[in-house]
Amino acid sequence: MTVLLVVCSVLALALVLVGIYALIEPHRLAHLYGVPIEGAAAAGFVRATGIRDLVFGFALGAAAYFRETPLLIVLATAGILLSLADFAIAYHAGGKQLRVAHGFHASGIVAFILVLAMILFIFGR
């Protein structure tokens, strides 16, 4: 269980940091994600996803801290779906061409699958 909690905590911290970065530097974060933006309105959408990542990171961190296994399963599943959606959005916005920046979304998918697999393996479900 310790390795699982460490992985969840690191993932939660990464989400919180990404959320903070989105609030502070939305244009740079959008570029790193493979979806360069222009204008204040577009930056608002990046900030909104930053808030989502920030809240999701806090929820994941809290679930790991309090060892709430059922909630970790729900959050890991939601994380997979969110990461897949982010990847699809960035892929389509980037002209349907894979870019190095899409690796951020792919790594989120892999990380949440790893967390879910660890939970299911540890608890034999």
Tokens of 47: 């900030």
Q: Which residues contact 72 (CB under 8 A, 6 or more apart)?
A: 4, 8, 60, 63, 64, 115, 119
- Tell me the pLDDT band of 89, cut-offs 50, 70 and 90: confident
What is the model's pLDDT at position 61? 97
What is the model's pLDDT at position 73? 94
- The domain locations on the chain are 2-123
The answer, yes or no, to whether residue 91 has pLDDT greater than 80, is yes
Check: CB of residue 15 under 8 Å from CB of residue 67.
no
Check: CB of residue 67 under 8 Å from CB of residue 5.
yes
The answer, yes or no, to whether residue 125 has pLDDT greater than 70, is no
**Residue 96: which region, alpha, beta or left (left: phi > 0; alpha: psi -120 to 50)?**
left
The answer, yes or no, to whether residue 46 has pLDDT greater than 80, is yes
What is the model's pLDDT at position 1? 65
pTM: 0.89
